[in-house]
């Protein structure tokens, strides 16, 4: 299925090498023909790792594996396949994970517990892991420091463009780099709002400090986005720090400098890239809620709007239908007072204090609805809680992609 | 917008008169041209009333009105309009409700507090109530005991067929009749799963007993259905008992005979009719969950499956994609053990104990997916909680209807 590239696509940024990371992709023929579907990364000895995983109660075998191995805090390799999620595959799924980790560990000369794994694709079909493990020696032989684009493309499923983001941060006066790749692009909702995301840095950071920075970052980025409200069984965000940069030892969060802020920026870019490539997406929608009783309440209201099919179809149709936003605010179950509610689209307040603003100028709203990026603001008028969510519209493209046989 | 009639439509049943109920419809030109859009019912003096309303926090002015007037427990009239929901209209909305009730009360020679009101349609636009009140004298003059079909058609919005159900019940050896009409067909989710439903009976039942019977009935029917997960601001179920049947006085629930069961049957028929007319629906989907830790947990899992866009689009595409059902079970947030989970479609168990059933026969599953009514069964394997939900598939029709300008 060749999908047209999302009109919201962004070009891949320039991605410099990161000391201690070599990566690449190969075609193992697991499901797709004529494209790479296995990605491998080799990480320098001493690489620390942090991870955040789906809260779906039926996680895939690779998620179970990663959760267990995360306790060690050390990673030497990453193996990812696209096309088969290795979810709901019982004993066979566990066997596939163990064999894949063992094969990669033999190549990288490390314990299997230092191999991290992720799979994405169809649920409930056995992963033909012999094809995967057979591809690894050849792939390992060609890993490169500049393999970013190949890796970003190799993890794609229904994605229409590769997704990557990069930033530099300063730790104690030394510049470090943070680069991540991610894939979507359906079954996307908190928690978390992506299927797979891998971030690499040359910084040297103890695993517990990384875990805290990653958790807060995912909370502020991926968990504020949604495509279709469906939470994947495979959602995985992994952060690897190779420790190759020569900066002062990091022993507490204060010593991280602006690392956490830059990490969050990378995660934010990737989360938005996933929404931009939401299945069938024609519009990127930002929803800012203010005046809530708390920040958490504001975010829940924003996500209720972001997940409302009637809001998403209205925007697909170019309709500034703020009545459906009222509905979505009301169904969120959060404190809301209809008679204090205000709603703006594209900066024009169409409703205030529970009623339409008499004589508001429709022209800028109509013009805004023709843009690719739509801004919705809701003021609940109750407190000072603020929150933001991002989503895309719901279009015929989503039905095409997901209503075709076993996409 | 002339929509094709749902392939899941049912014919209107024969609807005998109910003593003490006269009803009809008229064209007030509130939004639609060339069709009735106002419905009125005159109820005999002494009619008792019960009601259940949306839990949306931004309810419409008619919902506020009905909630207040329900305290009186007495009804003489019902006025419903289609095309404008009178929601988020502030002071103007309250004024429209008061003027409409006053106009109907003058015609029926009763206090305004005995007039019940409902509106459905666009949110956030002022209801042009003078057109509505101007239509009432002519409409009142032609109310008939056999006006059921006109009323069922007059409350439709994006509905493609009129919805009604009828049963008889016996109270102390005397036969009474229960007849209801309803409309959908988008913005449909618990609680409650319809926009408008009106049920009439000639039984004589005190309002508190009716309220209890109605609440349990809505819980078991409408609140087990969903079309698009969006909860309307206008959901209203009203039950009117004219007291014209000559049966022994009802002083407690035991004296109701099979009235409650038959009322629930009427509500169940109407709830399913709404799902059958879900916007764009091509398939009616029944989801039975067993083995949950409780009945409430089972229903929440069933509704999570019913609301999952990826399950709904798979069924639209004729794909028995049980992997997406696994995902939906996992995202429900209810107790679930992946390794005990079983899933059947059309009676064929495709997965048991957390893994695909080796060599299960695909032929009956493929045949089942071509039928109009799809049956999904999920066994969580944890306890003896059971629950059922009904929904429809998510198709291009839903996008067409809701992505067109201001449907």
Q: How far is B304 from chain A (nearest CA, A)?
A: 9
CA angle (A358, A365, A333) in 5-degree steps:
75
Q: Do residues B329 and A251 touch, judged by C-beta distance below 8 A?
A: no
Average pLDDT over residues A180-206: 77
Cβ-nearest to A405 among B92, B317, B395: B317
pLDDT band of B192, cuts 50, 70, 90? very low
Average pLDDT over residues A375-389: 96
Chain B (232-261) residues lying within 8 Å, Cβ to Cβ, of chain A:
232-233
Q: Report the alpha-carbon distance of residue B273 to residue A164 in Å, rounded.
A: 48
- In terms of C-beta density within 10 A (0-12 exposed, 13-18 middle, 19 or more buried), how is residue B367 classed? exposed
pLDDT of B288 > 60? The answer is yes
- pLDDT tens digit string along B16-74? 999 999 999 999 999 888 999 999 999 999 999 999 998 888 889 999 999 999 999 99
3-state secondary structure of B15: coil
pLDDT of A327 > 70? The answer is yes
Q: Which residues of chain B lie closer than 8 angstroms to A317, CB-CB?
A: 402-405
Q: Report the alpha-carbon distance of residue B399 to residue A310 in Å, rounded.
A: 9
Disruptive mutation site among B314, B338, B344 for chain A (greatest number of A CBs within 10 Å): B338
* Count of CB atoms situated within 10 Å of the CB of B110: 18
Residues of chain A with CATH 3.10.20.340: 284-403
pLDDT band of A189, cuts 50, 70, 90? low
Average pLDDT over residues B181-210: 79
Q: How far is B231 from chain A (nearest CA, A)?
A: 6
- pLDDT tens digit string along B98-134? 999 999 999 999 999 999 999 998 888 899 999 999 9
Q: Model pTM?
A: 0.87
The dihedral through the CA atoms of A305, A308, A312, A314 has a sign that is negative
A174 belongs to the catalytic site? no
The dihedral through the CA atoms of A216, A217, A220, A221 has a sign that is negative
- In the block, tokens 């038959």 appear at B262
Residues of chain A with CATH 3.60.70.12: 21-276
Q: Report the alpha-carbon distance of residue B278 to residue B161 in Å, rounded.
A: 11
- pLDDT tens digit string along A104-117? 999 999 999 999 99
pLDDT of B405 > 70? The answer is no
Tell me which residues of B are annotated as active site.
194
The dihedral through the CA atoms of A170, A171, A175, A177 has a sign that is negative
pLDDT of A298 > 60? The answer is yes
Q: Do residues B38 and B79 touch, judged by C-beta distance below 8 A?
A: yes
Q: Report the alpha-carbon distance of residue A244 to residue A202 in Å, rounded.
A: 5
- pLDDT tens digit string along A245-261? 999 999 999 999 899 99
What are the distances in angstroms from CA A70 to CA A54, A235, A383, B224? 14, 15, 40, 41
Q: Report the alpha-carbon distance of residue A151 to residue A154 in Å, rounded.
A: 5
Q: Do residues A180 and A164 touch, judged by C-beta distance below 8 A?
A: yes
pLDDT of A191 > 70? The answer is no
CB hemisphere CA count around A144 (13 angstroms): 12
pLDDT band of B242, cuts 50, 70, 90? very high
pLDDT band of B163, cuts 50, 70, 90? very high
Predicted pLDDT at A42 = 98
Q: Report the alpha-carbon distance of residue B185 to residue B181 in Å, rounded.
A: 13
Chain mean pLDDT for chain B: 91
- pLDDT tens digit string along B390-404? 999 999 988 888 887
Q: Partners of B290 in the beta sheet?
A: B379
Task: Catalogue the E-assigned strands of B265-384.
Answer: 284-292, 342-345, 348-352, 355-356, 373-379
A399 with B404: Cβ contact below 8 A: no
- Look at residues B233, B225, B211, B84 and name the one whose alpha carbon lies nearest to residue B163: B225
Q: Which residues of chain B lie closer than 8 angstroms to A339, CB-CB?
A: 90
Token pair of A224 as six digits: 């504020």
3-state secondary structure of B179: strand
3-state secondary structure of A260: helix
3-state secondary structure of B329: helix
Q: Which residues of chain B lie closer than 8 angstroms to A231, CB-CB?
A: 327, 330-331
Q: How far is B323 from chain A (nearest CA, A)?
A: 5
A230 with B87: Cβ contact below 8 A: no
A58 with B341: Cβ contact below 8 A: yes
Q: Which residues of chain B lie closer than 8 angstroms to A323, CB-CB?
A: 85, 87-88, 122-125
Disruptive mutation site among A309, A320, A352 for chain B (greatest number of B CBs within 10 Å): A309
Q: Do residues B396 and A399 touch, judged by C-beta distance below 8 A?
A: yes
CB burial readout A82-92, b (16+ within 10 A) else e: bbbbbbbbbeb
pLDDT band of B187, cuts 50, 70, 90? low
- In terms of C-beta density within 10 A (0-12 exposed, 13-18 middle, 19 or more buried), how is residue A405 classed? exposed
> What percentage of chain B reaches a pLDDT higher than 90?
74
What are the distances in angstroms from CA A88 to CA A94, B233, B271, B334, B355? 10, 39, 34, 17, 5
A355 with B396: Cβ contact below 8 A: no
pLDDT of A61 > 60? The answer is yes
pLDDT of B147 > 50? The answer is yes
Q: Report the alpha-carbon distance of residue B245 to residue A288 in Å, rounded.
A: 56
Q: What's the complex ipTM? A: 0.84
* The domain made up of A21-276 is a member of CATH 3.40.50.720: no
**Torsion angles phi and psi, residue A261, rounded to 5:** -60, -40
Average pLDDT over residues B344-350: 96
Disruptive mutation site among B55, B86, B119, B317 for chain A (greatest number of A CBs within 10 Å): B317
List the single residue in B with minimal CA-CA distance to A192: B331
pLDDT of A56 > 90? The answer is no
Cβ-nearest to B310 among A93, A187, A338: A187
* The domain made up of B284-403 is a member of CATH 3.40.50.720: no
């Amino acid at each position: 299925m060749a999908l047209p590239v999302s009109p919201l696509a962004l070009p891949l940024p320039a991605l410099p090498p990161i000391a201690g990371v070599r990566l690449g992709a190969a075609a193992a023929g697991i499901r797709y023909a004529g494209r790479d579907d296995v990605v491998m990364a080799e990480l320098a000895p001493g690489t620390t790792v942090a991870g955040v995983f789906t809260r779906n109660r039926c996680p895939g075998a690779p998620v179970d594996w990663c959760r267990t191995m995360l306790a060690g805090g050390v990673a030497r390799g990453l193996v990812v396949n696209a096309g088969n999620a290795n979810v709901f595959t019982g004993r066979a799924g566990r066997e596939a994970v163990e064999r894949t980790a063992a094969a990669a560990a033999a190549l990288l000369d490390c314990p299997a517990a230092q191999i991290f794994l992720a799979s994405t694709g169809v649920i409930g079909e056995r992963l033909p892991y012999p094809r995967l493990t057979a591809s690894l020696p050849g792939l390992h032989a060609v890993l490169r420091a500049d393999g970013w684009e190949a890796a970003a493309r190799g993890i794609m499923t229904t994605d229409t463009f590769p997704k990557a983001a990069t930033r530099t941060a300063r730790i104690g006066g030394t510049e470090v780099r943070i680069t991540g790749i991610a894939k979507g692009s359906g079954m996307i909702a908190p928690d978390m709002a992506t299927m797979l995301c891998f971030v690499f840095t040359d910084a040297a950071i103890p695993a517990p400090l990384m875990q805290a920075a990653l958790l807060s970052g995912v909370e502020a980025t991926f968990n504020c986005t949604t495509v279709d409200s469906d939470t994947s069984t495979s959602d995985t965000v992994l952060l690897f720090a190779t420790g190759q940069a020569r900066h002062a030892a990091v022993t507490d969060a204060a010593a991280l400098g602006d690392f956490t802020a830059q990490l969050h920026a990378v995660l934010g870019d990737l989360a938005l890239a996933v929404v931009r490539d939401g299945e069938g997406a024609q519009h990127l929608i930002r929803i800012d809620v203010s005046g809530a009783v708390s920040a958490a309440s504001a975010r829940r209201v924003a996500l209720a709007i972001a997940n409302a099919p009637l809001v998403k179809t209205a925007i697909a149709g170019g309709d500034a239908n703020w009545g459906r936003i009222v509905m979505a605010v009301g169904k969120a179950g959060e404190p809301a007072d209809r008679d204090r509610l205000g709603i703006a689209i594209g900066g024009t307040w169409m409703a205030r204090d529970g009623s339409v603003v008499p004589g508001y100028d429709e022209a800028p709203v109509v013009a805004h609805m023709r843009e690719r990026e739509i801004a919705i603001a809701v003021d609940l008028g109750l407190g000072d809680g603020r929150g933001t969510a991002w989503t895309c519209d719901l279009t015929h493209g989503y039905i095409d992609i997901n209503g075709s046989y076993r996409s």
